[in-house]
Amino acid sequence: MFVAVPRETYPGEARVAIIPQAVSSLTKAGLTVAVEAGAGALSYHSDADYEAAGARIESDRAALLAHADVVLLVRGPGSDPKFPEKDLQAIKPGAALIAFLDPMDLATPLLSAARRGITLLSMELMPRITRAQSMDALSSMASIAGYKSVLLAADHAPTVFPMMMTAAGTLKPTRVFVLGAGVAGLQAIATAKRLGAVVEGYDIRAEVREQVESLGAKFVEIKVDVETAEGKGGYAAAQSKEFYERQQQLLGEHLATVDVIITTAAVPGRKAPILITEKMLAGLRPGTIIVDLAAERGGNCALTRPDQRVDVDGLHILGPMNVPAQVPVHASQMYARNISTFLLHLVKDSALRLDLEDEITRETLVARDGKIVHPRVLERMEKR
C-alpha cells in the first residue's frame, strides 16, 4: 500500500502530516511511504531525514498523488477552502484521504472530493473514547493552542505575569481569566500559572471544577441555569439566546476585574457563541488583553477580527488563526503520532480495511464510493 505525504498548500501552514520518526511504524506494517520534496521543511524536517527513516522523496506532486492509495495531510479539502482542484483530480477514485476536513462546513472542495470517489476520513470526527485517545488530533492541537495563547497574551500585555518584589516596589501578578475549560482552556490555565499569573477559569460544565482547581486556578461560578452542559464528543453544548444573555451580564461584572481574558468556546460545526459583547467590552479596564482562540469560528468576542489585533478604547483583542502552526515542530510531532496511529488502526494485512462495526472507523468516515455517508454531515446538508 502506497502512502503519500504531500506538502501542505494552506497559506501559513507549517505543519506536516508525518515526521521522519513516524515513518518507521508505517514501513514496519508493510506500507510504502513517499513524501513530497520539501514537505517537512517548515517544521524543520529535511528530505534527508525522511530518506534515512525509510521514506521515498518525490518531487513530482501530481505523480505522488496519482500513485497514492492513502493521502495523509494536515489540512485537506474542506479545512482548506481553496484546496487545489488539480490535486483532487490527481488522486485516483477509491484512494483514501485522511486529514482535518472541517466536514460540517461542507466546503466545495470537500464535496468535490466526495463526488470524485475519494474515501474521506476526518480527524475532527475522532470519537472521544479511551481507545481513540492516541488518535485524537483535535485535543493535541487544542493543547498547543492553549499554551500559545498565553504566550501571545504575555507578549501583548502591559503588565508582567508573575509577582515581582523589587527595590522599586512590589509588582502585582497579572490576573488571567480563561473562558472555557476544555483541552485548550486547561492548557492555557496551566501555562498562565507557570508564568506566575493569578488565574481563574469558567465553564458551563460544573464538573470541570476539579480539573481547573487541580491546576491551581480558581473556578468561577456564574449562577445561570444550563439547559444541556455537554454535547456530543465532550464539548460544551450550544445554549439558548436567553442563557447567553444572562451569562454575558454576569460575566461582564467579573471580567472588569481582570487583565487578560482568553476565550476558547467553540461548538463543532457552528459559529462560535458571542461571550463578550460590545457592551461588556465597555466595562473592561484599559490595557485588558483578549486572546480569542475561537477566531476561526467567528470569535467569542463581538469585535474579534480573524488574524488581526483590534485596538479599541484601550483594549487589545487578538484573533489568532491556525495557532498550532505557530509551533510546527511539536504540533507536527503530535499530529504525526495521531494520524499514523489512526492509519495503522485501519490497516490489516498491509491494506486499508474499513470495518464499519468499529466505532472509530464509523465515526470518522465522511465519504465513500462517491457519496457522503456520515449521518451528522448528511443532516447538515439537509439543513442547508
Question: What tens digit of pLDDT does each residue of 322-338 get?
Answer: 999 999 999 999 999 99
Name the catalytic one among 43, 79, 122, 139. 139
Name the catalytic one among 136, 203, 259, 292. 136
CA dist 274 and 255 (Å) reads 15
Query: 371-372 and 365-368: which strand pairing?
Result: antiparallel
Domains of the chain, each with CATH number or no CATH: 2-125+330-378 (3.40.50.720), 142-325 (3.40.50.720)
> Could you confirm whether 136 is annotated as catalytic?
yes
Question: What tens digit of pLDDT does each residue of 229-248 get?
Answer: 555 555 555 666 777 777 77
Name the catalytic one among 21, 49, 112, 128. 128
The proportion of the chain whose per-residue pLDDT surpasses 90, expressed as a percent, equals: 85
Question: What tens digit of pLDDT does each residue of 79-119 get?
Answer: 999 999 999 999 999 999 999 999 999 899 999 999 999 99
Q: What is the pLDDT of residue 252?
A: 87
> Could you confirm whether 139 is annotated as catalytic?
yes
> Could you confirm whether 131 is annotated as catalytic?
no
What average pLDDT does the segment 214-218 reach? Answer: 97
> Could you confirm whether 235 is annotated as catalytic?
yes
State how far Cα 151 lies from the chain centre. Answer: 17
Considering the entire predicted model, what is its pTM? 0.92
Are residues 178 and 145 in contact, defined by beta-carbon separation less than 8 angstroms? no
Name the catalytic one among 24, 235, 244, 326. 235
Name the catalytic one among 46, 59, 89, 133. 133
CA dist 265 and 246 (Å) reads 17
CA dist 97 and 120 (Å) reads 5
What average pLDDT does the segment 2-23 reach? Answer: 97
Strand partners, 348: 351
CA dist 44 and 328 (Å) reads 8
Whether residue 250 has pLDDT greater than 90: no
Q: What is the pLDDT of residue 292?
A: 98
Q: From 189, 211, 208, 209, select the one nearest 200 (Cα to Cα).
A: 189
Sign, Cα dihedral of 365, 368, 373, 378: positive
